[in-house]
Amino acid sequence: MKIVVLTGAGISAESGVPTFRDADGLWEGHDVMQVASPEGFEADPELVQRFYDLRRAHLTDVEPNAAHLALGRLEKTLGPDLLVITQNVDDLHERGGSTNVLHMHGELRSALCLACADRFEWDGDLSHAPACPGCGAATLRPDIVWFGEIPYRMEEALQALQEADLFVSVGTSSQVYPAAAFVHWAAEQGARTLELNMNGTIASEDFDEVRTGPAGTLVPAWVDELLDGL
Ligand code: APR
């Protein structure tokens, strides 16, 4: 059985990583567009670099929760038949044992050079304008896909969604495209669809089944159920 799991900020909420849209459209006190758009970066690069520096540093304070661990456990049985596509830029899936992870919105622990367009693993800060390890220019930015930019690896995602028998959406508000369209792409090719979220979302009616509650409870329960049935 081939499964694609799409995850959003809700899966990391119980680890202490704040979601985007649960606090009046503000993300840690900032308008989302101010810190997650090329225009915001152009207007105030220092603010945006510092914002992501803090979030990158915060990764060492958080741990994967039961939902990340359950997906890691599921991959041990399914191997490459499980693909996790995440909109999250944290590294909690990897630390939860998943290896087949597609970060469609980039990663905090990566830097993108505006001069040479290369990407580099990055654990430190960027606000002090360090030199690019590739070309030496001081033009590194967070390797995050901002509003108006093109998500990574969409061909692979589309291929996996077309081949999937089951599509599961976990902890995403389904307000941001193209991820919000994945349920349609998968269903069109015959996949069963399941939404796991704290609440219903604007997309709930598009799923075959919806379960509401915290991801840290719902995901392990779903994984247990699935493994029992294999
Ligand atoms: N368990 C399950 N779901 C939860 C939990 C939880 N503990 N806590 C919150 N949620 C749900 C909320 O109900 C909401 O539907 O997680 C969802 C979080 O939604 P958003 O904050 O909109 O996050 P996400 O869908 O990942 O945002 C998508 O938008 O800003 C951009 O690029 C950014 O990747 C991000 C994208």
Catalytic residue among 68, 93, 103, 105: 105
pLDDT band per the 50, 70, 90 thresholds, residue 26: low
Looking at ligand 1, which atom is closest to the CA of residue 7? 26
How close is the Cα of 19 to the center of ligand 1, in Å?
5
Asked whether the beta carbons of 170 and 215 are under 8 A apart, the reply is yes
**Is position 105 annotated as part of the catalytic site?**
yes
Domains of the chain, residue spans = 3-17+64-105+151-229, 26-60+112-144
Largest Cα–Cα distance of the chain, in whole Å? 54
pLDDT greater than 70 at residue 23: no
Closest CA to 92 of 72, 110, 112, 106: 72
Which residue has its alpha carbon closest to ligand 1 atom 5? 10
Write out pLDDT tens, residues 150-177.
999 999 999 999 999 999 999 999 999 9
Sign of CA dihedral 173, 16, 146, 162: negative
Closest CA to 129 of 185, 49, 223, 202: 49
Distance separating alpha carbons of residues 27 and 34, to the nearest angstrom: 10
Cβ count near 101 (within 10 Å): 20
Q: Could you tell which of 103, 198, 202, 207 is best to mutate to test the pocket of ligand 1, judged by most ligand atoms within 8 Å of the CB?
A: 198
Q: Could you tell which of 15, 32, 176 is best to mutate to test the pocket of ligand 1, judged by most ligand atoms within 8 Å of the CB?
A: 176
Average pLDDT score, the chain: 96
- CATH class as words, domain 26-60+112-144: alpha beta
> Percentage of the chain surpassing pLDDT 90?
93
Burial classification of residue 81, based on how many CB atoms lie within 10 Å of its CB (0-12 exposed, 13-18 middle, 19 or more buried): middle
pLDDT greater than 70 at residue 197: yes
Q: DSSP for 1-56?
A: --EEEEE-THHHHTTT---SSSSTTEETTEEHHHHSSHHHHHH-HHHHHHHHHHHH
> Taking CA 13 as the corner, what is the angle to CA 49 and CA 99, rounded to the nearest 5 degrees?
80
Write out pLDDT tens, residues 81-108.
999 999 999 999 999 999 999 999 999 9
58 CB-near residues (< 8 Å, 6+ apart)? 17
pLDDT greater than 70 at residue 25: no
Specify the CATH number of the domain 3-17+64-105+151-229: 3.40.50.1220
Write out pLDDT tens, residues 36-84.
999 999 999 999 999 999 999 999 999 999 999 999 999 999 999 999 9
How close is the Cα of 229 to the center of ligand 1, in Å?
29
Distance separating alpha carbons of residues 74 and 70, to the nearest angstrom: 6
Ligand 1, CB cutoff 6 Å, lining residues: 8-10, 13-14, 19-22, 32, 36, 87, 105, 171-173, 175-176, 197-199, 201, 214-215
Amino acid letter, 65: N
